């Protein structure tokens, strides 16, 4: 069970890993998400089920209403969305218990860590509840211990109530109530990146097993499968453009679906990229910042047309795997970080929301109104793409790419952890 694209993708990858090991998967999303996924895939539910069957996977896709109006700003009104999601238990339970003799009965619920009502549903059905963390272990530990951090003064109350806080208030409330209700904990990370098993076991407040099983997207990629799903229309013309660029010469710029700065900052970023002199592929949506459409600086596209391409959305994993990409300017979403590590692409981090600040691993300024100048942006791009700093980062990230690959291959830490989980289930 899951609720947003950044959570749907890793859960889909994980579901496929389970399906390849013989499980029958019932994959549940909200109706709003399901409709958008089908629309962008230009298919229907029956065709999606047939495609899974043709690959030898036992899948069915179901959805439940979230109770919000079609025009509700789900991706921008996260507080309201979270509150509504916590009341969907009866709908999910009815869906899963509906008579269908063609599929096996539900024997386990794997739930996104933010979907609290699955605890009650699993209890009513008498099956284990598995919490799947789509975030890094460090952020997951911080959230599950938010009450301790708050009581000791490490998290000011004013910061908790801020929309850009690392610990928004609704997350604090959720983890205070539901952190102990699980039979298993799985984390989309690998032990060599965030520590051995002790790091994941810190999440297990009630003593249940906790294992690192990521990056869950990497095994499918290594086998030539593209299972990323998108709720946005993809522009894949960029791959022809990438084919024409020299090796490791292109900076890939993408700040995800939610992370768009205010208009003046957008202009500084554009001018900084232009001044850097490097080719860049920029995934940019101009319709979701400050509640209005934004515009790039006058003449920007014309001046950069010979060495830059701006698209609204594309296949990120495939972009990062392209040999012409030499750097990634990212908002530090955990999926993006894992994908960059998996492909050995060094990153420039520019956190914007929630867990992104923890993913950055360094002290950051969370003031969303602070302007980063075009000169600062130009210099940091040059550092990554040109000078010795960038070369060192490339060597470091290449090492972690090899470690990540080893982790998901037979005998690796994540592979063996997944094997143990499958045997337990």
Catalytic residue among 7, 178, 322, 355: 7
Q: Strands 24-30, 58-64: parallel, antiparallel or unpaired by DSSP? A: parallel
Catalytic residue among 13, 34, 66, 112: 112
CA distances for 48 relative to 40, 95, 98, 328, 410, angstroms: 12, 19, 21, 32, 29
CB burial readout 154-188, b (16+ within 10 A) else e? ebeeebbeeebbbbbbbbbbbbeebbebbbbbbbb
Task: At 203, list the tokens.
Answer: 């999440």
Rounded Cα distance between 221 and 226, Å, is: 6
CB burial readout 318-352, b (16+ within 10 A) else e? bbbebebbbbbbbbbbbbbbbbbbbbbbbbbbbbb
Question: Is 267 part of the annotated catalytic residue set?
Answer: no
In three-state form (DSSP H/G/I as H, E/B as E, the rest C), the secondary structure along 321-373 is CCCCEEEEEECCCHHHHHHHHHHCCCEEECCCCCCHHHHCCCCCCCCCCCCCC
Residue 49 half-sphere exposure, CB side, CA atoms within 13 Å?
11
Question: Is 112 part of the annotated catalytic residue set?
Answer: yes
Q: Which residues are known to be catalytic?
A: 7, 112
């Amino acid at each position: 069970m899951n609720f947003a694209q950044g959570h749907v993708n890793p859960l889909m990858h994980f579901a496929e890993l389970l399906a390849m090991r013989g499980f029958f998967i019932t994959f549940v999303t909200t109706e709003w998400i399901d409709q958008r996924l089908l629309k962008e895939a230009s298919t229907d539910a029956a065709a999606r089920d047939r495609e899974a069957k043709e690959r030898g996977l036992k899948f069915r896709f179901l959805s439940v209403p979230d109770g919000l109006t079609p025009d509700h700003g789900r991706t921008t009104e996260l507080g309201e969305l979270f509150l509504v999601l916590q009341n969907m238990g009866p709908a999910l339970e009815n869906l899963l218990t509906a008579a269908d003799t063609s599929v096996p009965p539900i024997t386990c619920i794997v739930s996104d860590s933010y979907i609290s009502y699955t605890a009650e549903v699993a209890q009513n059905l008498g099956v284990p509840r598995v919490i799947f963390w789509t975030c890094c272990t460090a952020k997951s530990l911080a959230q599950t211990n938010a009450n301790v951090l708050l009581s000791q003064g490490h998290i000011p109350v004013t910061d908790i109530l801020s929309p850009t806080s690392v610990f928004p208030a609704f997350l604090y409330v959720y983890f205070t109530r539901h952190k102990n209700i699980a039979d298993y904990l799985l984390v989309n990370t690998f032990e060599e990146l965030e520590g051995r098993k002790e790091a994941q076991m810190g999440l297990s407040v009630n003593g249940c097993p906790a294992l690192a099983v990521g990056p869950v997207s990497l095994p499918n990629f290594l086998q030539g499968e593209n299972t990323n799903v998108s709720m946005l229309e993809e522009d894949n013309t960029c791959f022809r453009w990438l084919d024409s660029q020299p090796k490791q010469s292109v900076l890939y710029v993408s700040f995800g679906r939610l992370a768009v700065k205010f208009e003046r900052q957008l202009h500084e970023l554009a001018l900084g990229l232009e001044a850097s002199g490097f080719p860049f592929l920029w995934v940019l949506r101009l319709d979701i910042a400050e509640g209005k459409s934004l515009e790039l600086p006058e003449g920007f596209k014309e001046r950069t047309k010979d060495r830059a391409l701006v698209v609204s959305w594309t296949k990120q994993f495939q972009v990062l795997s392209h040999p012409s990409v030499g750097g990634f300017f990212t908002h530090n979403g955990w999926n993006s970080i894992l994908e960059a590590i998996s492909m050995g692409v060094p990153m420039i981090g520019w956190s914007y929301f929630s867990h992104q600040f923890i993913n950055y691993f360094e002290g950051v300024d969370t003031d969303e109104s602070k302007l980063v100048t075009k000169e600062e942006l130009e210099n940091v791009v040059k550092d990554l793409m040109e000078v010795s700093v960038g070369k060192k980062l490339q060597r470091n990230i290449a090492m972690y790419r090899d470690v990540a690959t080893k982790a998901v291959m037979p005998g690796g830490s994540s592979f063996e952890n997944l094997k143990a989980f499958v045997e337990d289930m």
